[in-house]
């Protein structure tokens, strides 16, 4: 049986390049003096400043509702418009963008789909009393070409950029096999001055 030699201690004094030779320097790190570039302020004033910033939504003049008419449900519907569903009603700029940024644009919708944005409590149907005597302005685009115009139409409409904005009921984009149509629906087709001013 061989005798094992006892392990030698390796705690010899060798200089460590990472250690600071100034013992006071280590204490300086914990001082309350600010370092260069450090922002100094008491916690109480910082809390007051952060609580002073509050969320301020940007309200629209009218509330608006997005509606979707599903093309797969249209073939099964008993009466016209029974497959149309309201999606969301919004009243602020922030709500509009939160919805718009999370829905399909016309170029991504299925053929046969109709996507509407109408003033709150106005259904996108000619049978609605507000729309019953109305008319519409329609612009036709090639398939997949209406996304930007649809956005600009929505922004002008909800931002009250039309001269006779009170005459507007809403807008719809119709997606078909060879084309997409954007239509602006108005309340009173017999009011020619308002119709041509929209």
Instruction: Quick: pLDDT tens for 65-104.
Output: 999 998 887 666 566 677 899 999 999 999 999 999 999 9
Higher pLDDT: 15 or 195? It is 195
Count of domains observed in the chain:
1
Domain interval for residue 120 = 59-197
**Per-residue pLDDT, 171:** 98
- Taking only the tens place, the pLDDT of each residue in 125-182 is 999 999 999 999 999 999 999 999 999 999 999 999 999 899 999 999 999 999 999 9
Does residue 6 lie within any of the structural domains?
no
SS3 of residue 110 by DSSP? coil
**Per-residue pLDDT, 68:** 96
Does residue 16 lie within any of the structural domains?
no
* CATH code assigned at 129: 3.30.760.10
Question: Against a cut of 0.75, is the pTM above it?
Answer: no
Q: Return the percentage of the chain with pLDDT > 70, whole number.
A: 67
pLDDT bucket at 35, cuts 50 / 70 / 90: confident
Indicate whether 7 pLDDT > 70: no
C-alpha span between 167 and 163 (Å, rounded): 9
Does residue 85 lie within any of the structural domains?
yes
Does residue 142 lie within any of the structural domains?
yes
Cβ(110)–Cβ(68) below 8 Å? no
C-alpha span between 154 and 156 (Å, rounded): 6
Does residue 100 lie within any of the structural domains?
yes
Does residue 47 lie within any of the structural domains?
no
Does residue 49 lie within any of the structural domains?
no
Indicate whether 124 pLDDT > 60: yes
Identify the CA nearest to 150 among candidates 113, 196, 104, 105.
105
C-alpha span between 16 and 2 (Å, rounded): 37
Does residue 11 lie within any of the structural domains?
no
**Per-residue pLDDT, 82:** 74
- Identify the weakest region by mean pLDDT among 12-26, 49-63, 183-197: 12-26
**Per-residue pLDDT, 120:** 97
């Amino acid at each position: 049986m061989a005798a094992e030699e006892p392990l030698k201690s390796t705690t010899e004094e060798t200089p460590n390049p990472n250690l600071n030779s100034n013992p006071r320097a280590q204490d300086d790190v914990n001082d309350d003096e600010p370092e260069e570039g450090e922002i100094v302020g008491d916690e109480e004033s910082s809390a007051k400043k952060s609580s002073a910033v509050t969320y301020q939504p940007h309200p629209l003049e009218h509330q608006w509702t997005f509606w979707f008419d599903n093309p797969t449900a249209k073939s099964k519907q008993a009466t016209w418009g029974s497959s149309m569903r309201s999606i969301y009603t919004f009243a602020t700029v922030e709500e509009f963008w939160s919805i718009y940024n999370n829905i399909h644009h016309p170029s991504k919708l299925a053929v046969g789909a109709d996507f509407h944005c109408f003033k709150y409590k106005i259904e996108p149907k000619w049978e609605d009393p507000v729309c019953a005597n109305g008319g519409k302005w329609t612009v036709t685009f090639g398939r997949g070409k209406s996304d930007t115009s649809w956005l600009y139409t929505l922004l002008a409409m909800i931002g009250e950029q039309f001269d006779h904005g009170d005459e507007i009921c809403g807008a719809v984009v119709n997606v078909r096999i060879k084309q997409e149509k954007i239509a602006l629906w108005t309340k009173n087709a017999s009011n020619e001055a308002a119709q041509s001013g929209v």
